[in-house]
């Protein structure tokens, strides 16, 4: 199918670039790679893909910060899901404890 549809092939390889970026880049190398990906998306001939470059540009700081290692032993990167889960738990606790005075 990729050989038949040029736009599909381009979209497939751009998607693979983003996947590789998140899987293998480090905090030291990701800024340069992110800039390359943004340029590739902006210059894409696929109309539906070009706006994704704006999303990457708008969230560049957050994307860069997501590569900070928080657990050296497991080589685990910072993940906003953990923070969002904690915030949700706190909000739920506050909501369910409205009848308590102390």
Domains of the chain, residue spans: 6-96
- What is the rounded CA–CA span in Å between residue 19 and residue 22? 5
Q: Write the CA distances from 86 to 10, 62, 65, 89, 91, integer angstroms.
A: 39, 18, 19, 5, 9
**pTM (predicted TM-score):** 0.68
Q: What is the pLDDT of residues 26-69, one digit of tens each?
A: 888 889 999 999 999 999 998 888 899 999 999 998 888 888 77
């Amino acid at each position: 199918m990729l050989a038949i549809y040029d736009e599909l092939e381009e979209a497939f390889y751009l998607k693979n670039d983003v996947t590789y970026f998140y899987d293998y880049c480090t905090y030291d190398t990701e800024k340069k790679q992110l800039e390359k990906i943004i340029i590739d998306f902006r210059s894409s001939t696929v109309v539906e893909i070009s706006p994704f470059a704006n999303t990457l540009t708008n969230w560049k700081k957050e994307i860069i910060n997501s590569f900070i290692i928080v657990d050296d032993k497991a080589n685990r990167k910072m993940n906003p899901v953990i923070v969002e889960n904690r915030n949700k738990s706190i909000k739920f606790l506050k909501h369910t404890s409205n009848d308590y005075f102390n």
